[in-house]
Structure 1
Amino acid sequence: MSFPAYPSYQDSGIEWVGDVPSHWLRQPLFALVAERDESNEGMIENNLLSLSYGRIVRKDIDNNDGLLPASFETYQIVEPDDIVWRLTDLQNDQRSLRTAIVRERGIITSAYLATQPRGIAPHYLSYLLRAYDLTKVFYSMGGGLRQSMKFADVKRLPVMLPPANEQVAIAAFLDRETAKIDALIEEQRCLISLLKEKRQAVISHAVTEGLDPHAPMKDSGIDWLGEVPAHWDVKRLRFICHIGTGDADTADAVDDGAYPFFVRSPVIERIGDYSHDCEAVLTAGDGAGVGKVYHHFTGKFRAHQRVYIFSRFEGVHGRFFYAYMSEMFAKVVLEGVRRQRQWHRFEVVN
């Protein structure tokens, strides 16, 4: 998107900002906001708020991770148009969005910094801080990377200040444009969800009913599978491949390793040696990736000790086996009628 140019520009004097319109002023943060410090002692307010993904959201005060009601007396009260900052865990988390504007009165943890805009349009400041946030400004303030900061550490943060009417116009423009973009993102999410469903349906149909819609069918003898093409066989897993596990640990991974190292996630690490040289299908044996993470690979590799390795295929193509397992195992064994992980008893059609 292109924007009309201003008549003249000046150097902002701020490394991460660059040139700005000549009529804009530069002010330190403390000249434009005040630190809010209103305790919720006595449970004055019970509208529990939290900073999540760059937004202030409501939380259920009656179901909040085991916190007792008395715990919320240590929280602070915030008002609409306040700006909340999460300036904790700066060393370990450089991905989170750390500022957001408050839309309603409520309470929020005192671990966060709450500021009240006084000499600047709140929504303009909110967008400006979001830009600073995305530029990773907060991580290098105060003479180096810190674990956390307070208002005293950010109060001299330089702020570019357009005239008041221009601040309002900029914020209104960004409200409109970001709303349009958010709507497009939501449409794409819906489309992606539908395409994923279609993809799964295509794979499921192909690996259980084949490609010929006119092929004669027979009862597979498996309640969850139903009919399969009459010329297909149904065999237990142990009769069509060898089932083993890896022998390495996560700590064995090396950044410049010569061989793929399959762990329990979609990410393929590297390792310095190999234990297998074959065609194989690999999947997580425990953790969040069970039934969800699958790899098909041919060549030299090594695998984590909690990764299952299916190899030495007999009477089944590895790519078909990969498609069948990645589509059917989680659906049938982990979510369906047979909640167990006895791999050798799982039936495969071919």
Structure 2
Amino acid sequence: MLMDIYEEYKDSGIDWVGKVPASWKRSRIKFLLSHSSAGVWGEDEKGNKDDIVCFRAADFDYSHGCLKLDNNTVRNIQPKQLEGRVLHKRDLLIEKSGGGDATPVGRIVRFNYDGIATCSNFMHFISVNKNNDDNYLFYYFYAMYANNVNVLYFNQTTGIQNLKVSEYLGQIIFIPSLKEQSSISSYLDKKCSEIDNVISAQQKRIALLQELKQSVITHAVTKGLDPNVEMKDSGVEWIGKVPTHWELIRTRYLCNLCTGNKDTINRVDDGKYPFYVRSPKVERINTYSFDGEAILMAGDGVGAGKVFHYAKGKFDYHQRVYNFHNFKRVIGKFFFHYIANNFRYIIEEGGAKNTVDSVRLYMIQNFLMTVPTIEEQYKICEYIEQKEMAFDTAISKAQHQVELLQEYKQSLITEVVTGKRKVS
């Protein structure tokens, strides 16, 4: 299909839409629907006839405009509660409550499940009437979200965003004929699939580069840089063989270890010093409790056991962040590369869960490190930094390509559903 512009336009009176084709009809979104309803949550699964699949916002595959079907939630919902809330093909699901700064409420996906299902009370679903194309309306909602229209229709009083659904669906819309709606949605299906395939390829490339980067670092800190050096068995399965002249030493003998005494609420916007919490994000604070070289690991939370920061100078840190410092027989940067890339093996052995458990002191103190000579450590760190720079550059380029493709996809959808480009 080729793309052109329409012969004549008129002002829509809608800021984000601008001018629309003169032949498109003015309506309101709610008048294009045959059904509109909030979801229902019910009770825990009971193993009886009232059990039903219940989709949540966590099931949204928003980038592909559909539901993820690999981990369905089952709820027990009484027939009376379920009346008018069973989903059908062509239905569209809107997240009406929840959201956050990164993904505010208002996201929409198509219902693509083959069985009987409903959606949670944090969702709203709509059925498009037979005079309009549900797929076209999906893309229109997608364009609204991409242009931040949803932000104008929610309130946030208790930390949870709530979409004012009645007002959101009451918006004015200019629509083409059913035939043209179908042509537009078919065109966008094809183009978005092509774009998504390229994005997927780039994302796979990013994942591979990140995996290779980690592998290169792990090999360097456990095997060294000399491929011809004599090796010995380390006695540790995930380490394997190490150079004969290297030592294996537990962390407790290589540094001092302590935790901070601050909580996240102590952060200060534009504070004087870095404030390290249990995430990659560095907050700010007006106090410091440490001045020197340190490695910082999250002690619990979703990042438990992950080393997010190598720090130097004055800073403060969270009460559940471990601070490795005062290094002996190892340089700080070597310690950082080693533990940041290899402590995951302790997590995977079952000492703690990746997302919820805490990392205990004994787990860290007993962690085995391969320790080459100081001279080798400096060379290994220099090698790693060179490799990291090359990998990070390649990853950054691929990520930029993904961002450009996502922006192009949003722009294309917006231009087509608002009539800036004509599908023929």
Which residue is 2:19 aligned to? 19
1:161 aligns with 2:196: no
3-state secondary structure, aligned to 1:335: helix
Residue 256 (1) aligns with residue 266 (2): no
Partner of 2:43: none
SS of equivalent to 2:280: coil
Unaligned runs of 5+ in 2: 41-47, 353-359, 372-424
Deviations 1:123-173 (CA, angstroms, capped at 9, x unpaired): 11111111112223234249x778646764344311121122221111011
Q: 1:114 aligns with which of 111, 125, 146?
A: 125
Amino acid at match of 2:347: L
Cα distance change, pair 244–110 in 1 and its aligned pair in 2 (3 A): closer
- Give the direction of change, closer, same or farther, for the CA distance of 1:34–1:154 in structure 2 (3 Å limit): farther
Report if the CA contact (8 A) 1:283-1:295 is conserved. Answer: yes
Task: Answer yes or no: is the 8 Å Cα contact 1:203–1:323 preserved in 2.
Answer: yes
Structure (1 or 2) with the greater helix fraction: 2
Distance 2:163 2:213 in 1: 47
Q: 1:131 to 1:322 in 2, by over 3 A?
A: same
CA contact (8 A) 1:74 1:110 kept: no
Whether the 8 Å CA contact 1:50–1:58 is kept in 2: the answer is no
Shift in alpha-carbon separation, 1:323–1:38, aligned structure 2, 3 A: closer
Which AA in structure 2 matches 1:108?
T
Match of 2:4 in 1: 4
CA distance in 2, matches of 1:72, 1:315: 70
| CA separation of 1:239 and 1:123: change in aligned 2, threshold 3 A | same
Q: Per-residue displacement from partner, 1:50-100 (whole Å, max 9, x unpaired)?
A: 553242455777x62xx3354795361232222333323478885245323
Aligned partner (choices 280, 298, 321) of residue 284 of structure 1 = 298
Identity rate, percent: 33
Tell me what 2:144 maps to: 132
Contact 1:246 1:308 in 2 (8 A): yes
Would you say the 8 A contact 1:139–1:145 is kept in 2? no
Q: 1:195 to 1:275 in 2, by over 3 A?
A: same
Partner SS state of residue 212, structure 1: coil
CA RMSD after TM alignment:
3.4
Letter of the 2:118 counterpart: I
Report the TM-score when normalising by structure 2.
0.71
Paired residue total: 344
The alpha-carbon distance between structure 1 residues 284 and 139, as it changes in their structure 2 partners (threshold 3 A), is same
Preserved contact between residue 77 and residue 105 of structure 1 (Cα < 8 Å): no
Say which structure, 1 or 2, has more relative contact order (CA 8 Å, 6+ apart): 2
Q: Greater CA radius of gyration, 1 or 2?
A: 1
Secondary structure of residue in 1 paired with 2:196 = helix
* Cα distance in 2, alignment partners of residues 135 and 318 from structure 1: 46
8 A contact 2:150–2:163 mirrored in 1: no
Partner in structure 1 of residue 347 of structure 2: 334
Paired AA for residue 345 in structure 1: N
Tell me, in whole angstroms, the C-alpha distance in 1 between the residues paired with 2:144 and 2:17.
9
SS of equivalent residue, structure 1 residue 77: coil
